Structure 1
């Protein structure tokens, strides 16, 4: 296997590691979309032990935590080591129209999927309109 060595790229990588002030948790890339009566959040967490994933809801705050531990391989000489390890953290503020008690999560093939249902009171509904002969007697029912 051939490994190309670019001294400027390596210098840039080492400099960014030395000057990186983010010693805390790393962010996880994610997508968020609405599908019918649910919001779906998909977060990339490849190589994370499923037992280390923690999804919490505290009031209106949804927190996702995970840990990727490095594999110890004694006697190995690294040629390139770019995969980040350590703690990953993401927090979201949930709106009023969501049912926090119905949130579910699934981890499959390195992707954490969190399903957040829309609350019944926030779902769109039809309002029936009754017609009458006089405008003053019009009645709206829900």
Structure 2
């Protein structure tokens, strides 16, 4: 066994043994930050070393799916001492609420970070209702014997 200049050589052996026993590699992670401002919800996913052409963002109903691929570098004549950086396929699904516009999602990949903007659906945004002034006098009816007035809505 060769000397591992980056740490304890037994740690690497232990990690490799765990991977062999479990049959799995280090999980493919996409660390994420989410925040909201007036333009909608912002999602940033870390995807360092991912080829931008491999990034695929799809929306279906209320689910946003992000897929990306990071290729391994050809080993050739190199002897790999430590391989902690995951490679292969990355997938993350985000469930969004009905008040968000899945069809209006935009995506930008820069410096290893995928930035998604998920806008609030127009139907879920607050809107101001214009109050008009009628030229007709108030239309009220008096309920006999009670002294109550009722607004006549929709009657002419």
- TM bin (shorter chain): 0.7 to 0.9
- Show the 5 A alignment for 1:58-137: 58-125=60-127
TM-score (norm 1): 0.79
State the distance in 2 between where 1:62 and 1:14 align.
34
- Show the 5 A alignment for 1:34-45: 34-45=36-47
State the distance in 1 between where 2:105 and 2:44 align.
13
Q: State the SS of the aligned residue for 1:15.
A: helix
- Show the 5 A alignment for 1:26-65: 26-65=28-67
For structure 2, list consecutive stretches of 5 or more residues without a partner in the other structure: 132-147, 152-156
Q: CA deviation at 1:77?
A: 1.4
Q: Which residue of structure 1 lines up, in the alignment, with residue 141 of structure 2?
A: none
Mark the structure with the bigger radius of gyration: 2
Across the aligned residues of Structure 1 and Structure 2, the Cα RMSD in angstroms comes to 2.8
User: Any idea what the Cα deviations from partners look like across 1:57-116, whole Å, max 9, x if unmatched?
Assistant: 011111000000001141011222211100000001121101112110000000000100
User: Any idea what the Cα deviations from partners look like across 1:30-51, whole Å, max 9, x if unmatched?
Assistant: 1111122310110000000101
Q: Retained in 2: the 8 A contact 1:37–1:123?
A: no
State the distance in 2 between where 1:19 and 1:34 align.
43
Q: Which residue of structure 2 lines up, in the alignment, with residue 18 of structure 1?
A: 20
For structure 1, list consecutive stretches of 5 or more residues without a partner in the other structure: 138-142
Q: Which residue of structure 2 lines up, in the alignment, with residue 140 of structure 1?
A: none
TM-score (norm 2): 0.72
Higher relative contact order (CA 8 A, sep 6+): 1
Q: CA deviation at 1:13?
A: 1.1
